[in-house]
Amino acid sequence: MMDMTTIITDLYMARADVFLACAALILLAVGVCLKTRAFHRIAIGGVTALVLTLIMTLQQDNSGDSITLFGDMLVYDRFGVFMKVLVSIGAISAIFMGVRDLGDHVIGKFEYVILILLATLGMNIMISSNNMLSLYMGLELQSLALYILAAFNRNSLTSSEAGLKYFILGALSSGMLLFGISLIYGYTGTTSFPLIADIVLIEQTDMVSMGMLVGLVFILVGLAFKISAVPFHMWTPDVYQGAPSSVTAFFAMAPKMAAMALMARVLFSAFGELHSDWAQIIFAISLASMALGAFAGLVQKNLYRLLAYSSIGHMGYALLGYFVGGFTGVTATLVYLSIYLVMTAGTFAMILSVRNKDNVAATNLNEFAGLSKKSPVVAYGLAIMLFSMAGIPPLAGFFGKLYIFKAVLDGGYYTLAVLGVCASVVASYYYLKLIKIMFFDQPSAHDDYVVAPSRLLRWVGVPSVLFVVTFIFYPDWLVYEATQAALSLR
C-alpha cells in the first residue's frame, strides 16, 4: 500500500505523461466550446502539448539508473526516454499532416488531435511498462484511439471498412495477448517483469515449463500484430489504403515505435534468459516479413498499399537486431527505428503535398507522373526519401541497414544477412519505380494534381530531407544515444 507522499513523488516523476493526459482532457473541453476553426486551434494546442511533453521527458533522470514508479508498474530509464522521443516526433508530424490533409475538409474535426494525444499517452505507458497489467493498459489505450482514427472518415466506405477490419483483428490479437499473460501468471504467480525474470533464471537450472513458453508465444503473437509482422500483417494493406492519409502516416510511425519498445521490454527484461527459445520465433517472423514486404510490394499500384508492404519489410529488418540479442543487437534496432521514423515522416510529408483540385491527396502511383516538372523540390525530396528507404549510400537509410547487418554478421548469422540483403535489393525495385514515374512518365490528359507550399513541407518535409542527407557527417551521436538506451534495458 503506497502512502500519499509516495504517490505524489511518483506523479512528479511521471509528470510528462500526467501532463499529456491532462492536456488531452483540457483540449477536448476547449474544442467543444470553440465555434470556428476548432481543428486548427486544437492542432496548435496539441503540438504545443507534445513539445512540452517531449521537453519534460528529456528532463527525466537520464543517468542510466532505472526508476520504478507506482508499485513497480512503470519503469523510467534511458531506453524509455529514447523511445518516447521517437513517439513524440511521430505524433507531432502526424498532427501537421492532419492539418494539411483534413483541415479544410468536412471530416476535419478537432477530435483527430485528441485521439493522437490519447494514443501517444498509451504508447508512453507501453514503453514504460514493467508489468503485464500496465502493458495491457497502455496497449488498449493506444488501440482504442487507433480504431477510431482508422474509421475517422465516416463518409467513406473504405475508411469504415478499414476501421472495422482493424477493430476485429485488433480484438483478436488482444485476446491472444491476454491469454498469453494469463498463462504466464498461472505458471509464475506474478505479472511483474523483474519477478518473472527471476523465476525464469531459477528454472533455467532445471527446465522451463512448456506452459510458460506457450504463454510467451501468445504474447509475441499479440505484439507482432501491432508491428505488422508476417503472418500477422493481414490488416495492414487494407487499413493503410482505407484510412485517411494522415492517419495512415501516423500508423506507419509512432505505434510501431511503441510496439517495438514494448517487445524489447518483454523479451529482454522479462524473458532475457530464454533468448534461445524466443529467438526462433523472431527469426521466422523477421525473415517472412522481409520476404513478403519485398515481393508483395512489386505488384502494387496503390501507393498506400505499397507503403504498407514497405513498412512490413522495414519491421522485418528491425527485428533482426532482437534476434541477434544483447546490447549490440538492440542498439542496431534502435538506430534503424530512428532512421525509419524520419524517412517515413519525410515520405508522407511529400506525398500529402501532392493534391488534386478537390484537395485530396494522390493515392495511385500514376498520379505522380510528371511531378518533377510540376514541383521539382517535392519530386527531388521524395526521391531522396525513396533512395534512403532502398538503402542507397550515402543516405541515412543505408547506415540503418548497415548497422543491422553488421550486428547480424557479428553474431555469425551469415546466411540471414545474405537473405536480408537480397530482400533489400528486391524491394529497391518499387522505390525506383516511383522515382521513374515522377521523372520520366508523362501525366495523363486529365491529370489535375498540383503541389502547394504548406507548413507540412517546411516543418516536416525539409527537416527530414536534411537529416537523411547529412546523417553521414554525424552518425555517432545517434549511435551513442542508442547504445546508452540499450544498456539501460534490463
Contact 328, 487 (CB under 8 A): no
CA separation, residue 445 to residues 45, 303, 367 (Å): 42, 21, 11
Overall domain count for the chain: 1
The set of cell numbers assigned to 181 is 499473460
Among candidate residues 373, 203, 226, 201, the one with its CA nearest the CA of residue 285? 226
What's residue 426's pLDDT? Answer: 94
User: What is the average pLDDT across 422-445?
Assistant: 88
Mean pLDDT of the chain: 88
What's the pLDDT band for 141 if we cut at 50, 70, 90? very high
Among candidate residues 51, 63, 154, the one with its CA nearest the CA of residue 102? 154
Contact 381, 346 (CB under 8 A): yes
Around 264, how many Cα atoms within 13 Å sit in the side-chain half-sphere?
34
Domain extent, residue 364, equals 4-488
Question: Strands, E, within 264-405: which ranges?
Answer: 354-355
Query: What does DSSP assign to residue 457?
Result: I
Between 374 and 479, name the one with better pLDDT: 479
The set of cell numbers assigned to 270 is 522479462
Cα angle: 192, vertex 335, 309; to 5 degrees: 90
pLDDT, tens digit (0-9, with 9 covering 90-100), for 152-178: 887 778 888 888 888 898 889 999 999
pLDDT, tens digit (0-9, with 9 covering 90-100), for 245-265: 889 999 999 999 999 999 999
Q: Is 453 helix (H, G, I), strand (E, B) or coil?
A: coil
What's the pLDDT band for 134 if we cut at 50, 70, 90? very high
67: which strand partners? 76
Contact 336, 401 (CB under 8 A): yes
Q: Round to whole Å and give the CA distance between 244 and 31.
A: 21
What's residue 375's pLDDT? Answer: 84
Contact 47, 89 (CB under 8 A): no
The set of cell numbers assigned to 392 is 542507397
Q: Round to whole Å and give the CA distance between 342 and 186.
A: 41
Q: Round to whole Å and give the CA distance between 348 and 363.
A: 11
pLDDT, tens digit (0-9, with 9 covering 90-100), for 234-245: 888 999 988 888
